[in-house]
Structure 1
Amino acid sequence: MDITQTRFEVSKATLQDISAQVMKVDQPLLAGQVLLAIDCFSFTANNVTYATLGETLRYWNFFPSGDVAKGIIPVWGFADVLASCCASVHVGERFYGYYPMASHLVVEPANISVHGFVDATHHRKSLPKIYNQYTNTETDPLYRADAEGLQMLMRPLFTTSFLLADFFDENDNFGAEQLVLTSASSKTAIGTALLLQAGKLVQEKRTHLVGLTSSANKAFVESLGCYDQVQSYQELAELNPKAASAVIDFAGNGQLLSDVAQHLADKLTYVSLVGVSHWDNRQGLEPLSIVPKPELFFAPTQAEKRLRQWSTAGFYQRLASAWSQFEIFSRAWLNIETYVGNKEIEAVYQRVLAGKQSPDKGYILAFSKDALS
């Protein structure tokens, strides 16, 4: 194996510090190993969350950089088998999955089936299984060749939405009559709201869904129609302080969460921490004295429970059914933009990190134009 690999490394201490490392990789594949060529991937605020919580939730451990001060951010995308020393995984097969922000990845497939495999590389064995699964596009019920961009962008976010909505449904919305979602323009929040609304129709629940967002994004969020009420952050006083309320916090802004909790006071029943859209304000979460104490929602925990209860086939059947409706919904408002090459990849990274992306846009990144042909 003699290839030139490109990978992006970021400073764990200063996320703005990112650089493309180009290096020769000439060691041969070992028995059982497979070389994947990653041709394109999405980049969203979800990936910033991976970096922000890299130490806490071990996201840095998936693709070690070899330098303890630097990390490689995980992304979701597609890759083709470039070389294989594994009899059951063949050159040319295409897999959707969790990849490094890099052009290549060596994996050790295990639990191989027509549906895909699990990477059994030693350092990944103790990490959440859902991130180690690679799905063969030939048998993937969610895959369409003409919708790869949408799948890269929205499938990982929607999977979190699916699991989060399931978690709240399982717990009867924690007794809430009013469910408040911060950073309501984020794609994960939108997916969650859509699923919660669908659940209300099926189960005749009367929970009032409120989306909190910036003034600039308020009109966009209202146009989606998946919230019962949309308020800007400056309009917190419009929240009903007399209704039992739960909060799903996608923003990660400690001051905002504190203000919401203060307004709802003893009517607050539950606070779920999901994303960190406002990653630079996350430090404000640490000293919060909110009652009840906010709890971190870790999607893989809910996923692994449902995989056991529903079986792998049952889990993905339910996800695929929900996804088909969300795909139709998202096509009406999501604009996908594609960027190619190291400089453009870095520019998009900085834009998303700074929170300057429009909520109706999604970014697909590729190392070369050939990957998009």
Structure 2
Amino acid sequence: MSDENTTTLEVHRTDIGRTRLVEEGGDVGEGQVRLSIDRFAVTANNITYAVFGEMLGYWDFFPTADAEGGADWGRVPAMGWATVVESRSEEIPLGGRYYGWYPMASHAVFTPMATNDGFRDDGAHRAAHAPVYRAYVSAGSDPMYPSPTEGVDGSLDDAEDRHVLLRGLGLTGFLAEEFFADGGGSGESYFATNRVVVLSASSKTALGFADRAARRDGIEVVGVTSAANRDMVVATGLYDVVVGYDEIDTLATDGGAVSIDMAGNPTALAAVHHHFGDGLAYSMTVGRSHHDAEASPDGEMTGPTPQMFFAPSEVGRRIEQWGRNEYGRRCADAIAGFVTGSHAWLEVEHRSGPDGAKQAWADVHAGSVAPSIGLVARIGGAR
């Protein structure tokens, strides 16, 4: 038993700019473990989780306690590192360090089932979730655990920070790019086009995608971004062409294109569809970082119906196709390259304590965090 309280940042389900801090106790039951969360990322991707919380079940990851108004509030999952500080499981020892999905909190209690590389949360509320969302990988068994060389000046601490910021988003970008590379399983690379248009090109998922797409021969990688982020996007060197949202109609159309939308801005996506018309072979939607974007004034879009990309489904397809070991190797190579490359464009900024985490959410929700900044928060525990 433990009398240690947990402080959790909760987000209002229908007004996601509102947050509250909840403090609660709670014992560790038989077969359970408590982990101290020492860092988690707060990015536009977390905003996407809140926007799609009902549709994709993100609110169900970590149910709220029976606090006042609990039904109106939710716990947004975040990628992070945590250490086991209390264990009533024979299979999970004290001191074990794990990467995975956590609530934005000081601690988390799980019902673990040991796996080859860590554990799976077998709490009843997690049973319906994709395995990748329930997996916690031990630092000692993790094929993607960072080398100190992935951190600035050889710092393992910085490398871990960059992994919580970039690993999950980079893997989504990697998988999305691989989807285009084999034409969604058809074998036609980039659906027989020679260009990919990336909306919200400054987002970390977009940069992870572009890091892989830039390595393909014969594919022009086009980044679409705001005027404020243009210089940063150009400086990454990952895009062949960079244009503003008001310059989409200047893009070349010969050879057709596919598009990948990280922003969820209907007006910008409609502009891409209208410009390329039937030459747009595939339209992929990944995120909703522009959560407050208004619907397109032009009504229905021409061209293909945008398709939502769900990374966990693609994980299963690739493991079946490549085998688990090869899948792990490819992911590790992709993430190591992306994280190391981020030294040139990403500065890590820490937000500590309950109020620091609360402000981190407010800043990301408001869109006031430059894409060259990555916010890593901790509510409790030592860094």
What is the TM-score with the length of structure 1 in the denominator? 0.93
Please report how far the alpha carbon of residue 283 of structure 1 lies from its aligned counterpart in structure 2 after TM superposition.
5.3
Report how far residue 287 of structure 1 moved: 6.1
Q: In the superposition, relative to structure 1, how do residues 109 and 24 fare at CA in structure 2: closer, same or farther (>3 Å)?
A: closer
Distance 1:282 1:188 in 2: 22
CA 299–282 in structure 1, closer or farther in 2 if over 3 Å, else same: farther
1:85: which partner in 2?
Answer: 88
1:191 aligned to 2:228?
no
**Aligned-pair CA distance for 1:314:** 2.4
- 1:336 and 1:277 map into 2 onto residues whose CA distance is 20
Q: Which residue of 1 aligns with 2:79?
A: 76
Aligned equivalents of 1:308 and 1:110: distance in 2? 23
Q: Distance in 1 between matches of 2:246 and 2:111?
A: 51
User: Cα–Cα, structure 1 residues 75 and 280, in superposed 2: closer, same or farther, change >3 Å?
Assistant: same
Deviations 1:232-280 (A, max 9, x none): 1121122113431111001100111112211112211110001112111
| CA distance in 2: counterparts of 1:347 and 1:143, whole angstroms | 29
SS in 1 for 2:5: strand
Letter in 2 for 1:132: R
1:162 corresponds to:
174
Q: Is the 8 A contact 2:62 2:103 kept in 1?
A: yes
Aligned to 2:232, which of 215, 220, 232? 220
Q: Aligned to 1:313, which of 322, 325, 344?
A: 325
Contact 1:11 1:71 in 2 (8 A): yes
Amino acid at match of 1:128: A
The aligned runs of 1:101-112 (5 Å cut-off) are 101-112=104-115
Q: How does 1:146-161 map to 2 (within 5 A)?
A: 146=157, 147-161=159-173
Do the aligned partners of residues 296 and 131 (structure 1) sit closer, same or farther apart at CA in structure 2, a change above 3 Å counting? same
Local SS of the residue matching 1:344: helix
How many pairs were matched up? Answer: 363
Superposed CA RMSD in Å reads 1.7
Asked if structure 1 preserves the Cα contact closer than 8 Å seen for 2:8 and 2:105, the reply is yes
- Tell me, in whole angstroms, the C-alpha distance in 1 between the residues paired with 2:368 and 2:93: 41
CA contact (8 A) 2:92 2:114 kept: no
Instruction: Tell whether 2:17 aligns with 1:10.
Output: no
Q: Is the counterpart of residue 119 in structure 1 residue 121 in structure 2?
A: yes
CA contact (8 A) 1:276 1:282 kept: no
Deviation of 1:223 after TM superposition, in Å, equals: 1.1
* Partner amino acid, structure 2, of 1:225: G
Correspondence list, 1:168-187, <5 A: 168-171=180-183, 172-187=189-204
1:239 aligned residue: 251
Q: SS in structure 2 opposite 1:95? A: strand
Aligned partner of residue 142 in structure 1, secondary structure: coil
Question: What are the Cα deviations for residues 296-351 of structure 1, in whole angstroms up to 9, with x where unaligned?
Answer: 00011101222233333322111111122212211121100101112221111111
* Residues 210 and 227 in structure 1, CA contact (< 8 A), matched pair in contact too: yes
Over 3 Å counting, the alpha-carbon distance change for 1:285 and 1:350 in structure 2 is farther
Shift of 1:162: 1.2
Q: What is the aligned partner in structure 1 of residue 275 from structure 2? A: 263
* Structure 1, unaligned runs of 5 or more: none
1:51 aligns with 2:59: no
Q: How does 1:219-368 map to 2 (within 5 A)?
A: 219-281=231-293, 288-368=300-380
Q: How far is 1:356 from its partner?
A: 1.3
* Equivalent residue letter for 1:92: G
In 2, the alpha carbon distance for the partners of 1:251 and 1:140 equals 31
Distance 1:327 1:105 in 2: 27
Quick one: distance in 2 between partners of 1:288 and 1:116? Answer: 47
After TM superposition, give the deviation of residue 111 of structure 1 in Å. 4.1
- Give 1:285 deviation, angstroms: 10
Whichever residue aligns with residue 134 of structure 1, its letter is Y
The separation in 2 between residues aligned to 1:284 and 1:61, in whole angstroms, is 31
Q: Distance in 2 between matches of 1:312 and 1:102?
A: 32
Asked if the contact 1:252/1:285 (under 8 Å) is kept, the reply is no
**For structure 1, which segment, 162-171 or 283-292, has the greater mean C-alpha deviation from structure 2 after superposition?**
283-292
Identity of aligned residues (%): 36
Among 125, 140, 143, which residue is 2:142 paired with? 140
CA distance in structure 2 between the partners assigned to 1:98 and 1:236 by the alignment:
36
Change in Cα spacing, 1:173 to 1:78, as seen in structure 2 (3 Å) is: same
What letter is aligned with 2:21?
Answer: A
CA offset digits 1:156-183 (Å, max 9, x no partner):
1111111111111121212222210000
Contact residue 335 and residue 360 of structure 1 kept, 8 A: yes
CA-CA distance at 1:284 after TM superposition: 5.0
Identify if the C-alpha distance between structure 1 residues 215 and 279 changes in structure 2 by more than 3 Å, giving closer, same or farther. same
- Cα distance change on mapping 1:311 and 1:282 into 2, 3 Å: farther
Tell me by how many angstroms 1:119 deviates: 1.0
Kindly indicate whether the alpha-carbon contact (under 8 Å) linking 2:277 and 2:302 is maintained by their aligned counterparts in 1.
no
Tell me what 1:23 maps to.
24
In the alignment, is the contact (CA less than 8 A) between 2:201 and 2:223 conserved in 1? yes
